[in-house]
Each structure stands twice: as C-alpha cells, then as structure tokens.
Amino acid sequence: MDEDYPKTLMEFEKRFSTEDGCLDYLHDMRWPDGLACPHSRSISAWLTNRGGIVLHVTRQLDSQPTHVVRLFQDPHRESTFDMIAKTYTCSLLGIDGLLVEVEVDLSPGLPYFSTVGLPDNIVRESKDRVKTALQNSGYPFPRERITVNLAPAHLKKEGAGFDLPIAVGILAAMGLLDRQMAEQVILVGELSLDGRVKPVTGSLPMAIHAQKNGYGQMLLPEENALEAAVADELSVLPVKHLTEVVAFLNGSATIAPVRVDREQIWHDHITGEMDFEEVKGQEHTKRGLEVAAAGGHNVLMIGSPGAGKTMLAQRLPGILPLLSHEEALETSKVFSAAGLLNNQPLLVQRPFRSPHHTISDAGLVGGGHIPRPGEASLAHNGVLFLDEFPEFRRNILDLLRQPLEDGQVTIARASISLTYPARFTLVAAMNPCPCGYWGNHGRECRCGTHQMQRYRGRISGPILDRIDLHIEVPAVRYEDLRSTTPAEPSAAIRERVVAARNRQLDRFSGDGIYANALMKPRHIKKYCHLDDTGENLLAGAVSQLGLSARAYHRILKVARTIADLNHQNDIAPHHLLEAIQYRSLDRSMF
C-alpha cells in the first residue's frame, strides 16, 4: 500500500490538479493490460462516488506510454456520502500513553481491508476479529474497500486494543452511528469474535494520557475500568459488548462512569505489609537492613539455607518510607502496562519482586515481542530480590547495570527506543559456599578452597561494585525461636528510616541526589569528613583487611547513613566501625 495515497479530495486536488482544471493521476503501465492499477481504480471509484467524472487515456510521456486517469470533478454535484470516519484511541509507549487517530475510509471497489500506519501483526489481524465481531453483533459489514489508517504513522502500533476503535470507525463511516460522538471519546478494547470487549494492558497510563489531552470520556473494557478511573477528571465508562458502545454513541443508552476515591484506597491498602515484628532474633541482619533502607543502599545477604534471608528481605519494603502519591502512580503505571494491576486501582505499597535465576533477559529488564516492563521495572520504587545470586548468569546481571546507574531501562525497538523506570533497592542473597554451611556452627562445610573461590567468583563484579552492604545472616538461634517477647515492629524502624532520609533530603537539596547511596566522590568529599581518629581508624582497616578504593568509598557512605540514623552531623569512629563490619565479602575472600 502506497503511504502517500491521498486521503481526502482536497489532498488529491492539491497533488494532481492540472492547468486545464482536471485532475490527472499518473502511473506507469506495468499493470497487466485490462487490469487497472488498484490505486487508480479505487481513486476513480472514490471520485465517481463523490460526483466526479473519470476518463482513462493513454499518453506518451517521456516516450513512455503512460496510463493517465483523468478525473474531472463536477462542481454542480455535491458529494452526498462521505465515507471517512475518525475515532481516537490510546496505545502505550513504554509506560506512557500515546494518542492514536484511527481513520477509516470506505471506497467502492473489490472488498479489501488494509491497515496502514505501522501496525504490528496483532493489529493487522484486527481486521478478522473486527469483521466477525461486527457480523456476530448484528451489524452489516461493508462490501467495499476499507482502509484503516493509524496516525502518527511513524510509531509502531502494538496490541489488540485497536479492535474497538476500528469497529466503531467502520460503523461511523457507514453512517450507522453518530460520527461526531465517535470522535469525541477515547475507545480502547480488544474484540472477541462474538463482539465482547476484552481487557487490554496499560489502561491506567492510557487514561492519564487521555485526560492530559483534554478528553472527557473513555470507553474501555470493564475489567480495566477501575485502574483507569484513577485519572479522576476523566469519565471512565466500562463496556462489556460492542452493542453497548454503539447504543451509547447513538445516544440510546447511558453508561454510568466508574469512580474511585484515591484517598480511600490509600487508607485501605496501606496496612497489611509483612512486619519485622514476626521475625525472632536476627538483630544484626535487621540492623543492616535498617541502614540499607535509611541510606538507599543495595544489600548482599550471605547466609546458610534456612537462615531466613528471603523472609528478612520481604520485610524491607515495610521499613522504607511510605510511597508518595507520585511514586505510587508511577509504580502503578508500570504494573498496568504489564497487565499485573489485577483490577486494583492503585498500588500503594512498595513492590517486592523476586525473579528466579532462570529468568530471561526480557523478563528481567523488559522488552519482548509486545514490549512489557520487566522485573527490574516492576520493582520500581521497591525492592528487587535476587536469591541464589551466584546462580544468575553473568550476562543477565550485566543488564542490571543501566538501571542501577540511571534508575531506568532503555529498550531499543525497530523504530523507537522505549524507556521504563527502574529505580529499586537491590537485595541479593547467597549461600556462603556451594554446600551452604561454611561458617555455620551446626553443620560442617565440605567445600574445598577451589570450589569456594569458583562459587564466589561467579558473582558479577560490576554488580557487586554497586552493593554497599554485605550482611551476614547467621542461622536462627534456638533461644530466639523460643522467645515470646515480640520483636520491634516495622513501623518503629520506619520512623527512624524516615528521619534519616529527611536529614539526607535537607543536606542534598542543592546536589540533585536524595540519598547517601547516590553520593559521588565529590559529595563524599564534601559530606563525609572524618576527624583524625576516624582517618587513622579507616586507614588501619584498609591496610589490615586489604580493602580496595571502592570499598573505602562504600564504607564512608554507609558510615554517613549510620550517623544520620543517630542524628549526628559528623561521622564518629563507632559509625565507621559498624560500616566496616558490612564489608564481610571483601574481608574474607577477595
């Protein structure tokens, strides 16, 4: 299909009119004799239909016999039947909505249905679903040439959400429903063969985008209505069947908009996070996680199987500061784009994602045939937990370098690159050795030095470089298990974390960062000043433990966080000592 095909008579005139007042449409004679080129046929049919006169002649142009279709427009006859209709829909670009204009043109000619404007395979297959859905819902299907144009043309159109706007566009072009009404709403939905409207992914970002673009109403599958209703200035109208859409657009039926109360969701869902109160003992690990939460540091937990690493990591989101409304919306948009919001309007808790080590590249960072956000983005504003850390393939972990650095993932597509947000706290967990019992006092480790080195050597160096804290997680002691005194609740820990975070926000207000973990060497120099005792202490540790320059910086950052937790402006020697403890991996094996 020719992309430059004129869409309206005016466009056609501008392009092809000649001085003698007729419209010439030239094309070469490569078409078999007796068979007109499909373009000229449909254009002449289109013009005849609008009151034009068509003459086919053959001319000698540049010594080539050229087929010229001369099209005369009769000024006295007015077109009676305009067969172009427009509808509007939203599609997804990363986790943002993209407004798409769907133009449907019917022109006499052999029945043919073409979709232009970079449709992907699923959009291209839409014609079969739309045709069957229309017929099974009792509507006529035009026996003409149907051209569907999706604009903007340069961006690939993906997914099945275009079915509904295309079906409505065809009905509008046939004059079966109010064309103006159809142009004023956003239509989103996949059609099943019997005309039911099926859910799509990403309705939350689509609704937000529609609202931003000044639309007042959006018709979409009822399964998606609740998440879309978060865009509260938009009237979100849930539909189950194509016939309801037609009845609504013809004014013969009304649909009650879905409303959600954002404040109410906020209050209802904020509770129910997993609590540290339920974890007996493990005070050292809990303290480490508190430091991590307070400074936004990434963590590596090292401990035997059954020590409770997963259980502890799962409780980290519960001591991080509460999500702000903006963060909640961002994280919800990611879940909506992935189709994981599960009819919950808004996520108000920080996400915890724990992908298995066999996960695919696209599963971890996003992408795929129909692009979707990966686990790194689903963990946005929350925690990404990688258990069995050394089992993850090195090249898949390398994919995490960009999100750990920039807080986002970029995926290159054929025509455009997509960006998904991915700012998370990384919590990695590993056994101390292949058998898992090194350093465990209950059981004997049987791993050789070589085996051990190979196991630890599997950890991706560049990722390890972005982890500030190494926390040893010992097996739970029997006395702790038996203890009946409740542990400190997460809410109390969160209060300290928030206070420490607020100190950091004040300090970094002019630096473009918000947490100690994000400090660059220039910030460290400015904010991590040590007195002489501190300097000597750290110099001694570096030489005794053989710490690298990187480890040196990490210790300073973590010490800064510990000082913040203690409401101290200066880093004291005991802050440093605690921070040095959290470098166990440097100490014992590298």
Give the three-class secondary structure for 274. coil
- β partners of residue 303: 473
| Chain residues in the site for Zn ion (CB under 5 A) | 433, 435, 438, 445, 447
User: Measured from the CB of residue 445, what is the shortest distance to Zn ion in angstroms?
Assistant: 3
User: Measured from the CB of residue 333, what is the shortest distance to Zn ion in angstroms?
Assistant: 44
Give the three-class secondary structure for 501. helix
Question: How far, in Å, CA of 58 to CA of 350, rounded?
Answer: 71
Q: What does the DSSP 8-state code read for residue 389?
A: G
User: 139 or 455: whose CB is closer to Zn ion?
Assistant: 455
Burial class (CB in 10 A: 0-12, 13-18, 19+), 449: exposed
Question: How far, in Å, CA of 88 to CA of 102, rounded?
Answer: 6
* 387 φ, ψ (degrees, to nearest 5): -80, 155
User: 63 or 449: whose CB is closer to Zn ion?
Assistant: 449
User: 335 or 438: whose CB is closer to Zn ion?
Assistant: 438
User: Measured from the CB of residue 545, what is the shortest distance to Zn ion in angstroms?
Assistant: 23
User: 165 or 303: whose CB is closer to Zn ion?
Assistant: 303
User: Measured from the CB of residue 430, what is the shortest distance to Zn ion in angstroms?
Assistant: 12
User: 25 or 438: whose CB is closer to Zn ion?
Assistant: 438
Q: Amino acid letter at 343?
A: N
User: 429 or 555: whose CB is closer to Zn ion?
Assistant: 429
For residue 451, give Cα distances in angstroms to 109, 410, 454, 457, 461: 74, 37, 5, 10, 18
For residue 320, give Cα distances in angstroms to 275, 401, 496: 12, 23, 10
User: Measured from the CB of residue 434, what is the shortest distance to Zn ion in angstroms?
Assistant: 6
Closest C-alpha among 265, 264, 278, 429 to residue 347: 265
How would you classify the pairing of strands 425-430 and 383-386?
parallel
User: 88 or 438: whose CB is closer to Zn ion?
Assistant: 438
User: 259 or 446: whose CB is closer to Zn ion?
Assistant: 446
Question: How far, in Å, CA of 573 to CA of 571, rounded?
Answer: 7
User: Measured from the CB of residue 454, what is the shortest distance to Zn ion in angstroms?
Assistant: 12
Question: How far, in Å, CA of 279 to CA of 285, rounded?
Answer: 11
User: 336 or 440: whose CB is closer to Zn ion?
Assistant: 440
Transcribe 154-173 into DSSP letters.
TS-B-SSTTHHHHHHHHHHH
Question: How far, in Å, CA of 390 to CA of 48, rounded?
Answer: 71
User: Measured from the CB of residue 441, what is the shortest distance to Zn ion in angstroms?
Assistant: 13
User: Measured from the CB of residue 451, what is the shortest distance to Zn ion in angstroms?
Assistant: 8
User: Measured from the CB of residue 446, what is the shortest distance to Zn ion in angstroms?
Assistant: 6
User: Measured from the CB of residue 447, what is the shortest distance to Zn ion in angstroms?
Assistant: 3
Tokens of 447: 């791993």
For residue 533, give Cα distances in angstroms to 11, 133, 264: 81, 78, 53
User: 411 or 433: whose CB is closer to Zn ion?
Assistant: 433
For residue 418, give Cα distances in angstroms to 109, 329, 367, 369, 411: 40, 19, 9, 13, 5
User: Measured from the CB of residue 471, what is the shortest distance to Zn ion in angstroms?
Assistant: 19
Q: Cα angle at 305 between 300 and 311, to 5 degrees?
A: 65
User: 267 or 443: whose CB is closer to Zn ion?
Assistant: 443
Neighbours of 478 (CB within 10 A): 10
User: 22 or 452: whose CB is closer to Zn ion?
Assistant: 452
CB 148 within 8 A of CB 166: yes
Omega of the bond leading into 434 within 30 degrees of 0 (cis): no
Burial class (CB in 10 A: 0-12, 13-18, 19+), 31: middle
In the chain, the largest separation of any two C-alpha atoms, in whole Å, equals: 102
User: 257 or 436: whose CB is closer to Zn ion?
Assistant: 436
Tokens of 551: 């480890």
User: Measured from the CB of residue 443, what is the shortest distance to Zn ion in angstroms?
Assistant: 9
User: Measured from the CB of residue 432, what is the shortest distance to Zn ion in angstroms?
Assistant: 7
User: Measured from the CB of residue 311, what is the shortest distance to Zn ion in angstroms?
Assistant: 22
Packing angle, helices 38-49 and 9-16, rounded to 10: 120
How would you classify the pairing of strands 197-198 and 112-116?
unpaired
User: 445 or 577: whose CB is closer to Zn ion?
Assistant: 445
